[in-house]
Structure formats: C-alpha cells, structure tokens
C-alpha cells in the first residue's frame, strides 16, 4: 500500500487501481513464487466497512479484485499523498533546502505517506523486528539488509537508510520536524528518551558523509566500528524507538535480546526506554525475548510503580517518572520450555516471576554453600 501511493505517477498510462493490483501480485509471487493455483482458489481480506481485497484463481494464476469501498479509500489516500509530495517539492525549490534537510524531509514525508496509506486499516500498527546480532555499523548495514526477507524488517531497513536523520543530532532532528510539519511533538517523552539513550550509549551518535561516530564529549569521539559490541548492538533499537516517538507512529516493536552485551545498568535503562515507547502512543506494543533477569527485574519495578502510583501518584512520581509506569493489564510474560510456553506472570501481584530465568543463581549459591560447609568441616 505504502509503495503504491508513494511511487505511483498519474501522468503515466497506468490506472491507480491496476498499479496497486500489480504490486499485490509482485508481493504474492515474492512469497509463493510463480505457482499455478488450483481451480477454486480464493483468499479474501476484510478490513471492515466494506474495505475488501480478494485473490482468486484465473486460469491457474492469481487475480486481484478490489472492493468498491477499497477503491474509494485508496483514491482518497493517494490524493492526500500527492498533495504532500507536491508541497514538499515546492518547498525544496522555493527555500533551497540543504542536502541534510532534504534527507530529513524525505524521510519524514515517506513516513507520513505510509501512515496515510494504512489510515483506513483500523487495527493497523507498524511492525518493527530487530533480530539478535544486529550490529549495523558503517559497512555492515548492507550485510544485515541482505540477510532479511521478512516483511517485519522493512521498517528497520528504512531506519538504516535514513540514519543521517539522527546523525546530525537530536536537537536538529526535532527542530526540523517542527519546522516542516506544524504539529506538536511529544517533547517530554523525547527529552527523557534522549537522556536514556545517552546513558546507554555513553555518548551521542553522529553521522557525517557516511562516517559514523559516538561523541563521548567535546574533545573525544570514537569511530562506531571501534565502539563496544553493546553500543553497536543497541544503537538501532535506540534510534528506531526515538524516531517512532518523534513521528508518533503507532507500532509493534519486536526485539530479540535487548540486553545483548550491555551492563546491568544499561539493561535497566533500555527497559525504561521501551516502557517510555509504550506510553507514547495508546496502541504501541513491544515484544522481547530475553535471558536476562535484570530485564525482568527492571520491568517489575515499573509494573510495581504503576500500582503504587494509583494510590500515591505524586510520591511515586518522584521515584519513577510516570511516563515509565507499566500497566500490568498490558503485560504478559512467558517461559519457553519443552516445546511449549507457560505464563510467569503473578496475577495477584501484577508482576513477573523473574527468578524463573535466574535459577542458575540459586544453583551457584547452593554450590557455594556446600563448598563453604566443606571448608568449615576441614577447618574443624
């Protein structure tokens, strides 16, 4: 949908609806190949209010049919997108924007096009999947992108492409966002996000002419390729969360092992950043896989803060920022074992049983106690 409204040119010979149907078939064939379909094959996607798309068999090959309501809404979305695109081109010509400003402008425009395109899917939220082993420093982002064929990765790839949006600093990005689009941004959320990101990275990300660095202070900076594994692994998680909060994109963020190579304090802060993302938009979601008891214990504090905050909001807010409180009703936690899953949420307490993934600590303590007892016996 986003590709259709973003690339269709009504000056050509194609009809908008035919162009969209072609894009669906290209996507279908990328998933299933040029397969021949059985007679009677039929798939129908219903999005409510008469918005429907169907795939049917036409002489062994797929044929796309669009419902009338779908066509009407697609046309409306495209017209709105065309106005945005034309206004953007006009501003570039009139104001002579710099290369950096144009990069930022195009990135924001593309995001708005995608938001427009999905505006009539009532339950739609963007999917952002970040696998483990996500080091994407200079020269390696293409390798990461080359490994990926999953639809969930599209948005991450776009974030990699537009990394220069953040390479000029958060203040620049925020000011440009307000300048180009006269709408409010979540200032308080962004302030806290910047603080948490700086504490996790122990510096500020910069990118200039393809060279990525971490600015430690006014006198010291480190080439990102020589930064720690934890800094490199966490970078795009942090940057993507910041962009999603900045652009107010309702999203489902899926992260494998957010704790990878991070000190416990940084793990605590990355949980806080995810909770901040959760509170930024009402339908935001995040899903993580983790082996870290620090991740679960940090989340438990935020869950408990929400509960205490219902009774003593002002006092609780002095301990934990209310934007980080995590509502137990929005949280589920599961332990994977023996090919199945079981809940590790304590429904009565509204918290997770963090000890479930920290059983090794108990074993280590038991082993130490046995050695200690043996040592005492020898001494006696």
pLDDT > 90 fraction of the chain, expressed in percent and rounded: 30
CATH number at residue 202: 3.40.50
- Sequence-separated (6 or more) residues with CB below 8 Å from residue 117: 1, 2, 4, 5, 6, 77, 81
pLDDT band at 259 (very low <50, low <70, confident <90, very high): very high
Retrieve residue 64's tokens: 């796309």
pTM over 0.85: no
**What is the band of 181 on the pLDDT scale with cuts at 50, 70, 90?**
low
Q: What pLDDT, on the 0 to 100 scale, is given for residue 224?
A: 84
Q: Are residues 154 and 25 in the same domain?
A: no
Say whether both 27 and 149 belong to one domain.
no
Give dist(CA 37, CA 9) in Å, integer. 32
Residue 201 scores a pLDDT above 90: yes
Question: Both 88 and 156 in a single domain?
Answer: no
241 within 8 A of 205, measured Cβ to Cβ: no
- Please report which confidence band the pLDDT of residue 210 belongs to, taking 50, 70 and 90 as the band edges: confident
Question: For every residue of 258-303, which 3-state class applies, written as one string?
Answer: CCCCCCHHHHHHHHHHHHHHHHHCCCCEEEEECCCHHHHHHHHHHH
282 belongs to a structural domain: yes
- Per the structure, the count of domains in the chain is 2
Residues 264-285: b if buried by 16+ CB within 10 A, e if exposed: eebbbbbbbbbbbbbbbbeebe
Three-state SS at 186: coil
In a domain, 308, yes or no: no
Residues 64-83 have pLDDT tens digits of: 887 887 788 777 777 777 77
Residue 20 has pLDDT above 50, yes or no: yes
Residue 149 and residue 251 in one domain: yes
* Full domain range(s) for residue 239: 125-291
The pLDDT-based confidence of 327 (bands split at 50, 70, 90) is: very high
CA-based nearest residue to 354, from 238, 264, 261: 264
133 and 276 co-located in one domain = yes
H/E stretch holding 205 reads strand 204-208
Same domain, 53 and 74: yes
Interval 153-171: pLDDT, tens: 344 444 444 455 666 778 8
């Amino acid at each position: 949908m986003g590709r259709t409204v973003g690339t269709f040119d009504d000056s050509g010979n194609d009809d908008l609806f035919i162009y969209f149907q072609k894009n669906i078939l290209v996507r279908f064939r990328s998933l299933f190949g040029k397969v021949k379909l059985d007679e009677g094959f039929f798939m129908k996607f219903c999005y409510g209010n008469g918005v429907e798309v169907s795939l049917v068999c036409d002489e062994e090959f797929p044929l796309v049919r669009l419902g009338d309501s779908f066509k009407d809404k697609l046309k409306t979305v495209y017209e709105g997108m065309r106005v945005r695109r034309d206004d953007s081109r006009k501003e570039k010509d009139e104001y002579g924007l710099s290369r950096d400003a144009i990069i930022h402008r195009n990135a924001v425009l593309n995001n708005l096009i995608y938001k427009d395109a999905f505006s009539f899917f009532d339950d739609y939220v963007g999917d952002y999947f970040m696998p483990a082993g996500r080091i994407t420093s200079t020269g390696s982002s293409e390798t990461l992108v080359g490994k990926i064929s999953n639809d969930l990765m599209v948005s991450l790839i776009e974030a990699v492409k537009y990394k220069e949006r953040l390479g000029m600093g958060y203040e620049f990005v925020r000011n440009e966002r307000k300048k180009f689009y006269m709408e409010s941004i979540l200032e308080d959320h962004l302030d806290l996000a910047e603080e948490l990101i700086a504490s996790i990275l122990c510096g500020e990300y910069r990118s200039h002419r393809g060279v990525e660095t971490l600015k430690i202070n006014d006198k010291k900076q480190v080439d990102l390729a020589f930064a720690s594994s934890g800094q490199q692994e966490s970078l795009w998680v942090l940057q993507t969360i910041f962009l999603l909060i900045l652009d107010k994109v309702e999203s489902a963020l899926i992260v494998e092992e957010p704790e990878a190579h991070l000190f416990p304090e940084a793990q605590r802060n990355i949980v806080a950043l995810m909770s901040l993302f959760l509170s930024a938009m009402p339908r935001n979601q995040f899903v993580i896989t983790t082996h870290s008891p620090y991740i679960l214990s940090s989340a438990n504090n935020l869950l408990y803060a929400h509960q205490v905050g219902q009774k003593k909001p002002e006092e609780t807010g002095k301990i934990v920022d209310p934007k980080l409180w995590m509502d137990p009703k929005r949280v589920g936690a599961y332990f994977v074992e023996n090919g199945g899953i079981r809940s590790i949420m304590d429904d009565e307490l509204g918290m997770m049983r963090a000890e479930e993934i920290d059983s090794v600590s108990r074993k280590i303590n038991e082993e130490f106690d046995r050695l200690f007892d043996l040592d005492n016996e020898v001494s006696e």
